[in-house]
Amino acid sequence: MTQPSTDLAIVGAGPVGATLALSLADSDASIVVLDARAKGEALRGERTLALSHGARLIFERLGVWHELAATDGAVTPISDIDISQAGGFGMTRLSAAEQDLPALGYVVSYRALQAALDTGVARAGISVRHGVSATSVGGTATYAAVTCDAGADLVTARLAAVADGSGAAVGNVDRKRHAYGQVALVAKVWRAEPHGGLAYERFTPEGPVALLPEGDHYGLVWTAAPDRAEALLALDEVAFLAELERHFGTRTAGFTRVADRRRFPLALEFAPAAVGTRCVMLGNAAQALHPVAGQGFNLGLRDAAELAAIVQDTPREAIGEPPMLRRYERQRRGDRYAGIAFTHGLVAAFGNDVPLLRWPRGLALTLLDAFPPAKRAFTRAMLFGLR
């Protein structure tokens, strides 16, 4: 093999892979995009994503935001976030108005975002090979080789960008996994009062619990030990809502209905170096975080935006060469590691029941609330990432 068949092979056109493809629509690089899902489907129909204001700016640039925001019920702005801890003093409220922004973030339907991105990708003339699953991503020093199932042809490329949500197809890259020994119980809950764009994040001895405004209801993410989550799932509606109300203490009340209770195990998974031979991993394939601060998807989007900028800035023959891979790794390292450490640190500092920690935690929240520059810095880190 002398010449790879394309410049870039994108494995996975989920929200992150499709963002990469769309960001490269005007570049000179030739692109092949594969996705295991069927055309018109979304991998995770039921999921919502927490988007920061920075993520909105990326989608505005790509011409996707307008269509998404016009889709009925697809986008719910978060105007304020009430942060507190159970059994200790201290709270703070982050506010979009204080930051002079239209919203702190957005709760977005995964399905609607995928549909808007698919439309954008098609409009840009980029074709996606749907129903094609990569079984392995390997290669040599001169090209990446993507092997596919169902008799699909081998794809060779100068660079394989893997955004398959897990990195499962990439064999030669080191990955770390830390299981938190907890599960997230997710559900839709309704309250008598309209949410008015107010989100809640509460740190409790069982772990963090969040309520995110979503259409006419709240999306609940309740972290708990597996047996506790099992017991909560088995409760009838009235008993479950009473437990939820007790869990939120004085912060919020008046829950009237719950639906779609599900759970999933919580773990931190990441590739310390998000690059391998002729290969880059991005989005959840590079790092899958605890959902506590809603950072994961936003980090993945920044992976896509920065990789696109580097590809555009690299001469064609040098795409996928070690200097380009080193540049990507160097450029993304600070943001990725800060996002991983910030999320993991929040879980470690706030997600346990060490009474001695309650006082410093309360003090931290009180100071954050009373000291505008610290609050502004914290809010901006949540909105645009840490570096």
Ligand X SMILES: Cc1cc2nc3c(=O)[nH]c(=O)nc-3n(C[C@H](O)[C@H](O)[C@H](O)COP(=O)(O)OP(=O)(O)OC[C@H]3O[C@@H](n4cnc5c(N)ncnc54)[C@H](O)[C@@H]3O)c2cc1C
- The CB-of-133 to ligand X minimum distance in angstroms stands at 4
Closest CB to ligand X among residues 58, 365: 58
Closest CB to ligand X among residues 88, 156: 156
For residue 93, give the 3-state DSSP assignment.
strand
- CA-wise closest residue to 195 among 72, 78, 56: 78
Closest CB to ligand X among residues 88, 300: 300
- The CB-of-212 to ligand X minimum distance in angstroms stands at 8
How far apart are the C-alpha atoms of 34 and 155, rounded to whole Å? 10
Closest CB to ligand X among residues 96, 184: 184
- The CB-of-149 to ligand X minimum distance in angstroms stands at 8
- The CB-of-13 to ligand X minimum distance in angstroms stands at 6
Closest CB to ligand X among residues 269, 361: 269
Q: For residue 86, which phi and psi values (nearest 5 degrees)?
A: -80, 145
- The CB-of-162 to ligand X minimum distance in angstroms stands at 9
- The CB-of-70 to ligand X minimum distance in angstroms stands at 21
Closest CB to ligand X among residues 169, 368: 169
For residue 358, give the 3-state DSSP assignment.
helix
| Alpha helices (runs of H) in the chain, residue ranges in sequence order | 15-23, 53-61, 65-70, 96-99, 110-123, 226-234, 237-248, 296-312, 322-350, 355-370, 372-384
* Other residues' Cβ atoms within 10 Å of the Cβ of residue 213: 22
Strand order in the sheet with 91-95: 91-95, 80-85, 198-204, 207-214, 217-224, 176-191, 255-270, 287-288
For residue 336, give the 3-state DSSP assignment.
helix
Contacts with ligand X, residue ranges (CB under 6 A): 11-17, 34-37, 43-44, 47-50, 133-134, 163-165, 169, 264, 283-284, 288, 291, 294, 296-297, 300
Q: 234 Cβ partners below 8 Å, 6+ apart?
A: none
